[in-house]
Structure 1
Amino acid sequence: MSSHVLAVGEALVDEVHRPDGSASEHPGGSIANVALTLGRLGRDVRLATWLGRDERGDAVRAWLAESDVTLTGGSDEAERTSVAVATLDDGGSATYEFDLTWQVPKRAAAGADTVAVHTGSIAAVLEPGADQVRALVEAARTTSTITYDPNARPVIMGSADTARERIESLVALADVVKVSDEDLGWLYPGQDPIEAARAWRVSTTGDLADGRTGPAVVVVTRGGEGAVALTAQGEVEVKAPTARVVDTVGAGDSFMGALVDGLWGHDLLGAGRREALHAIEPDVVTAILEQCVAVAAITVSRAGANPPRRAEL
């Protein structure tokens, strides 16, 4: 088996309502979008998800297969395929409502060839799957880099007070965290997002066998303003390229996929590379972030979650 990334989380159908009254359906889901981005960038990626054997599930499976994303066994055993209703405003930003179920397929697990496990968003907070995600991530740390994006959905997660403890516990398990300034603003109202991210990077993780304190890399995305990465070696900021925004659906997920791809390209994935990841140099961070903002800029310039392929960069 070749080296691969295992993405664990939701794949669903986005029902998009636009300001002009039109509506359409297309496959999506935060974790599925990350996997799709990796597949389009030419990476071997497996997705452990929860789809129904129905028409919508067929559409999601075809969409993933076209971008070389492999589903893990048991990912098609849900009673129905979940749906997210996205309503776009005049600026292209989306608000969401959900009809979904989630659990981790029974046969999903990281192996010796799994260089990274990615999770986040709904999958990491919605039961019964959330506890299963945490157990998988805890076990995977012996073989894999853990990447995490909270990608907050207040409609699903409830109050920030409710979500904060679970999110912080997953941050403590992660090696790499990507989070938007909007998510940090929701979780820590009145606090500067970068200050909140600094606290995450040095958060106490005394329950971890390797004794590390906090993730090696925390990246804060700021929409059209670009992104800031925080590491032990300092902080790196990159600006976003100018883009004509059609909508923001999937932009953060494509950024996340590009982040995993960039770390992989610099041989920084896998449990055996954890020390090297904590020692990542600022010039490497800059190069990776520049690719991430380029990928996200292309995604927002197109309708829906439609990240670029490698040849488009």
Structure 2
Amino acid sequence: MSFLVIGECVADIVRAPVGSGAADRLHPGGSPANVAYGLGRLGRDVTLLTQLADDPTGRRIGAHLRSAGVRVEIGGAPVRTPSAVVGLDADGRATYTFDIAWSLAAPVPAGLAPDHVHIGSVAAVTAPGADTVLAETERLRDRATVSYDPNVRPALMGEHGAAVARVERCVALADLVKASDEDLAWLHPGEDPRAVAARWLALGPAVVLVTRGAEGSFALTRREEVTVDAPRVAVVDTVGAGDSFMSAVLDTLAGRGREELGALGAESLAGLLRRAGAAAAVTVSRAGAQPPDRSELDAAEALFGLRSGRAS
């Protein structure tokens, strides 16, 4: 089972709290890159098609990805590696200020025939590179399943109506969509997240997952709706939590085709949400986007008692 992730790498510069005397921390990041790294940590065969500058930060991010076994394909080198200054509130929740350009023009390398394609975040909606992302996804989806995470960054989304249209084009390409309640609140303010998820299902996906931070997550298919609580854990920061959730989802569902995804039963969906929630819990318990490897994820499920956790 091979995975292709297409999207941005970003240097996350986490600001130290004012008056703490601590130094800022630099962590390799970018939502698609984090998903690829998480899949690599779980032992999956994964390639990331991205852009990295030939600068110290770009080389550091490349080495970070390769350390997890991720094959990195560079589709063009920007002038500098994209960055995001990350501010943390008292509860460890992250806000971002971006310096990002996305101009991917190179197609997927010849001979690369993934079984699954994952897209999302800045790369799927930011011109001019988004055109390449969507064209390659459309070309590959005849033989590969597709997942999408909008990972909305309001400062980079442009005019609201156009942004919603771009996101929904990606939703329509995907078999599996994962979004946060914050994503949905920006895209469709005032609407119930379940109503939005149901509307997205009608666009084409077999499964829509919605994360709600400390409140857990829910899954929606045309047959089932399942809600699962989140484990309780001391939060260091929330950087990369949703990406760890996504990596665990893709790992758990590896090998399932479109019809199988649509036929997932309530028990399977609950187990999926629990395992993905355990991955996110590990990540928020330590600084930066540090997803678990397989042994850590197995241990986290046992530690949090998620196999017997509440689902409805």
Instruction: Give the % identical residues.
Output: 50
Gaps of 5+ in 1: 204-213
Question: CA–CA distance in 2 between the matches of 1:76 and 1:38?
Answer: 23
Question: CA–CA distance in 2 between the matches of 1:49 and 1:43?
Answer: 18
Query: Does structure 1 retain, via aligned residues, the 8 Å contact 2:106–2:132?
Result: no
Equivalent residue letter for 2:278:
A
Question: CA–CA distance in 1 between the matches of 2:232 and 2:284?
Answer: 11
Question: CA–CA distance in 2 between the matches of 1:200 and 1:61?
Answer: 34
Deviation at 1:115, TM superposition (A): 1.2
Equivalent residue letter for 1:126:
T
Q: Secondary structure at the match of 2:233?
A: coil
Equivalent positions of 1:65-214 (< 5 A) are 65-72=66-73, 74-75=74-75, 77-104=77-104, 106-108=106-108, 113-203=113-203, 214=204
Give the aligned CA root-mean-square deviation in angstroms. Answer: 1.5
Q: Secondary structure at the match of 1:39?
A: helix
Question: CA–CA distance in 2 between the matches of 1:76 and 1:297?
Answer: 34
Deviation at 1:111, TM superposition (A): 6.1
Question: CA–CA distance in 1 between the matches of 2:244 and 2:88?
Answer: 19
Query: Does structure 2 retain, via aligned residues, the 8 Å contact 1:112–1:143?
Result: no
Question: CA–CA distance in 2 between the matches of 1:173 and 1:143?
Answer: 13
TM-score where L is the length of structure 1: 0.90
Deviation at 1:78, TM superposition (A): 2.6
Verify: 1:240 aligned to 2:230, yes or no.
yes
Question: CA–CA distance in 1 between the matches of 2:266 and 2:238?
Answer: 28
Question: CA–CA distance in 2 between the matches of 1:186 and 1:109?
Answer: 35
- Cα deviation 1:114-166 (Å, max 9, x = unaligned): 11100111001111111111111111110111100000000111243231000
Verify: 1:58 aligned to 2:59, yes or no.
yes
Gaps of 5+ in 2: 298-312
Q: How many residues align?
A: 294
TM-score where L is the length of structure 2: 0.90
- Cα deviation 1:176-234 (Å, max 9, x = unaligned): 0000011101111111111111111113xxxxxxxxxx200000000011110001221
- Cα deviation 1:70-108 (Å, max 9, x = unaligned): 112x34633221111111111111111111221335142
Question: CA–CA distance in 2 between the matches of 1:83 and 1:129?
Answer: 17
Query: Does structure 2 retain, via aligned residues, the 8 Å contact 1:198–1:230?
Result: yes
- Cα deviation 1:218-258 (Å, max 9, x = unaligned): 00000011110001221011111111111000000110111
- Aligned counterpart, 1:15: 13
Question: CA–CA distance in 2 between the matches of 1:115 and 1:253?
Answer: 20
- Cα deviation 1:33-78 (Å, max 9, x = unaligned): 0001100011011000000111011100111111111112x34633
- Aligned counterpart, 2:302: none
Query: Does structure 2 retain, via aligned residues, the 8 Å contact 1:299–1:305?
Result: yes
